[in-house]
């Protein structure tokens, strides 16, 4: 049985159709990258999978169960959301932001216990940001904020991580570090799903790539068969793309 399955999903904002009768199944384990131009419905698709948005037609199932019937707390224990890096209005300590990941496990009135604090420390450690623990979230860099949000998702205890453009707004070094973290998470048997604007990032870490165009799936398969110059050119409406071979792998280049 598929871990997450989207069955004949349609979604619209007002009159604008964003997702058109889409079917997609996500299996346990591995990394899936979602590629697509701006406005292709990537983020909407993620939110539908997370049960934050509800489709106007079709059903989203988590472990075979209609996601709308799963209580919010239960859902949050299975699925964790890593949103795009944002600037928070309030300067919570990094520790407190990560601790919020324990909310679905917290007791009456959201009380956190010693175990919650221990798992928070562990998640900070794992993302290599223990030294930031006491810093206000508003005063750390974009890369550090992204690591904080992933740490929060890890603290949540879910085995499925859904990341919305995790490399967006990060510098080159931080992008590479983030992709390394994703690889490490894959090795630890997390199931990851992320959207990206970089075909190369998809090729580097993903086991499966789904290309989304105008709310429908254009290609779905292994990186080798999907992230080809021809497909990328079609996806983004470019005239041509070429492949460059470096010592560390191939890079796509679209003039």
Partner 1 sequence: MKPLPLLLSLVGLLAIMVVSLCLGKYPLQLAEISSFFRQEWFGGTALPTERMELLRNLLLEIRLPRILAAALIGAALATSGAAYQAMFVNPLVSPSLLGVLSGASFGAALGMVFFKNWYEVQLASFLGGVAAVLVAVGLARVYRISGTIMLVLGGVISGALFAALLSLVKYLADPYNQLPAIVYWLMGNLSLADRTTVLRVSLPICLGLGILMLSARKLNVLSMGDEEAAALGINVQQVRLLVITAATLISALTVVIAGAVGWVGLIIPHIARMLVGPDNTTLLPVSALLGAGYLIVVDDVTRLAFAFELPIGIVTALVGIPFFMLVLGNARKGWQ
Q: How far apart are the first and last CA of the chain?
A: 43
At 175, give phi and psi (nearest 5°).
-60, -45
The residue (of 67 and 241) whose beta carbon lies closer to partner 1 is 67
Half-sphere exposure of 248 toward its Cβ, with a 13 Å CA cutoff? 4
Which residue number, 18 or 241, has a Cβ lying nearer to partner 1? 18
Cβ at position 76, least distance to partner 1 in Å = 3
Cross-strand pairs, 210? 34, 220
Question: Residues with Cβ < 8 Å from 126, sequence gap 6 or more?
Answer: 151, 154
* Binding stretches for partner 1 (CB under 8 A): 47, 50-52, 72-77, 79-81, 83, 86-93, 96-97, 100-101, 103-104, 106, 109-112, 136, 138, 156
Q: Output the smallest distance, CB 57 to partner 1, in A.
A: 17
Smallest distance, partner 1 to C-beta of residue 49, A: 11
Gap between the Cα atoms of 206 and 217, Å rounded:
17
- Output 120 or 156, the one with its CB closest to partner 1: 156
What gap in Å lies between CA 137 and CA 139, rounded to an integer?
6
Q: Closer to partner 1 at the Cβ: 16 or 248?
A: 16
For the bound state, the minimum distance from the C-beta of residue 80 to partner 1, rounded and expressed in Å, comes to 7
């Amino acid at each position: 049985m598929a871990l997450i399955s989207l069955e004949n999903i349609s979604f619209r904002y007002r009159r604008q159709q964003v997702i058109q009768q889409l079917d997609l199944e996500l299996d346990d384990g591995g990394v899936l990258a979602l590629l697509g131009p701006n406005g292709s419905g990537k983020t909407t698709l993620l939110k539908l999978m997370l049960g934050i948005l509800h489709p106007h037609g079709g059903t989203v199932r988590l472990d075979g169960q209609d996601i709308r019937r799963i209580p919010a707390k239960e859902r949050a224990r299975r699925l964790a959301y890593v949103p795009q890096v944002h600037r928070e209005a309030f300067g919570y300590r990094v520790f407190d932001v990560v601790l919020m990941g324990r909310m679905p496990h917290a007791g009456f009135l959201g009380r956190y216990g010693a175990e919650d604090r221990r798992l928070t420390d562990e998640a900070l450690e794992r993302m290599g940001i223990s030294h930031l623990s006491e810093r206000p979230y508003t005063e750390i860099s974009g890369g550090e904020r992204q690591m904080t949000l992933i740490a929060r998702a890890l603290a949540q205890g879910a085995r499925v991580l859904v990341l919305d453009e995790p490399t967006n707004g990060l510098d080159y070094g931080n992008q590479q570090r983030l992709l390394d973290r994703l690889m490490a998470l894959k090795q630890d048997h997390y199931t990851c799903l992320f959207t990206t604007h970089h075909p190369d990032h998809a090729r580097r870490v993903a086991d499966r790539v789904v290309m989304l165009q105008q709310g429908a799936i254009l290609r779905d398969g292994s990186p080798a068969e999907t992230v080809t110059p021809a497909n990328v050119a079609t996806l983004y409406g470019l005239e041509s793309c070429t492949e460059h071979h470096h010592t560390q792998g191939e890079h796509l280049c679209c003039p």
